[in-house]
Amino acid sequence: MPDTSEPTSDYSARFVIETHPVHGRLVRLGDTIDQILKSHDYPPVIANLLGEACVLATLVGASLKFEGRLILQAQGSGAVRYVVADYDTKGGLRGFCRYDPEELDALIQENEGSFQSLGAETLLGKGTFIMTLDPEDHADRYQGITPIEGESLSLCAEHYFAQSEQVPTHIKLAVTELTGINGRSWRAAGAMIQAIAGDETRGETKESFQHIRALFETLGEEELTDFDVTADRLLYRLFHEDGVRLSALKQVHKQCRCSQERVEGLVQSFTPEEQNEMLEPDGKVHITCEYCSKTFFVGL
């Protein structure tokens, strides 16, 4: 039997509905998303958007059948220029968001009093949702692009799967900030179900997916981010009448690819004249990683 115990709050896990041709994945991020979001002083609406992106990248990336990376990016003409999350199949996750603070403040004031929180379409405006598959063996990258549609990145992803993969998919994402004895901390979680294509044995799978989706719809954001409810218990609540089997949990951790060596190589790629223009008063080039906010110093 797979080990489905939860030694960490940061994991992804595949599950299968035993009596229907439907499978899915559950992701929960505690320390990992808290570290990613606290690397920057993001306003809550930006932290929520990046949290969604990180969970979604993990949901999709952990499903890859090859070793490599899944890069999820949404970019548009709104106050948020783009949000990106990068997951590798060894469980490493990173992400960041670029936005215009003045435009964001104006947008928040404009929507003050609204019952609906600011989501993807409002923050990003007209733009594109992009998923890039980058195999580790240097095979060609694959990139799928769809328009940004809806106030959750989950809707963008569902549209992507419907167009690019022709796979019925339903996704739920949740991001919250909690207050505890050690102060405030972020949590994020998500779940995804997908239909398994019909064949001569299975027949038509549409009704099965609709049945499981109806149960899946009852899953609340509070349940997703309540880590006291274990993965197996959460799935049992939803699908116990149809049978559900949970695979071993795979740990997720914050991991940035920046390094002194990479930064030095980047600086060396510029001409001597360009390098001199980059010098700070201390005689060194200062480069800050957009993902983790770590600053590197390169002497010339």
Q: What is the pLDDT of residues 67-103, one digit of tens each?
A: 999 999 999 999 999 999 999 999 999 999 999 999 9
Contacts of 45 (CB under 8 A, 6+ apart): 104, 108, 117, 118, 123
Long-range contacts of 34-39 (CB under 8 A, 24+ apart): 34/185, 34/186, 34/187, 35/254, 36/93, 36/94, 36/95, 36/254, 37/186, 38/186, 39/96, 39/291, 39/292, 39/293
Q: What is the pLDDT of residue 4?
A: 47
Kindly indicate the confidence band of residue 3, based on its pLDDT and cuts at 50, 70 and 90.
Answer: very low
What burial letters (b/e) apply to 152-173, b meaning 16+ CB within 10 Å? bbbbbbbbbbeeeeeebbbbbb
Q: For the residues 275-285, what does the mean pLDDT come to?
A: 88
Q: What are the structure tokens assigned to 68, written together?
A: 């490599």
Q: What is the pLDDT of residues 151-202, one digit of tens each?
A: 889 999 999 998 887 889 999 999 999 887 778 899 999 999 999 876 555 5
How far separated are the first and last CA of the chain, in Å rounded? 57
Partners of 246 in beta bridges: 15
Q: Tens digits of per-residue pLDDT, 226-273?
A: 999 999 999 999 999 999 999 999 999 999 888 889 888 888 898 888
Share of residues in the chain with pLDDT > 70 (%): 94
| Residue spans of alpha helices (H) in the chain | 31-38, 44-61, 101-110, 120-124, 153-160, 206-216, 221-224, 231-239, 260-268, 272-278
Give the integer Cα–Cα distance in Å for 176 and 180. 13
Is residue 138 scored above 90 in pLDDT?
Answer: no
Q: What is the spatial distance between Cα 209 and Cα 201, in angstroms, rounded to a whole number?
A: 16
When pLDDT is averaged across residues 142-154 and rounded to a whole number, the result is 90
Mean per-residue pLDDT, 126-136: 94
Q: CA 36 to CA 42: how far, in whole Å?
A: 10
- Integer angstrom CA distances of residue 276 from 3, 130, 268, 273, 280: 55, 36, 11, 5, 9
Helix 206-216, helix 231-239: angle, nearest 10: 120
Structure tokens at 234: 């959460």
Report the pLDDT averaged over residues 195-218.
81
Which residues on adjacent β-strands are paired with residue 20?
none
Coil, helix or strand at residue 188: strand
Residues 21-60 pLDDT 10s: 999 999 999 999 999 999 998 999 999 999 999 999 999 9
Distance of CA 50 to the CA centre of its chain: 7
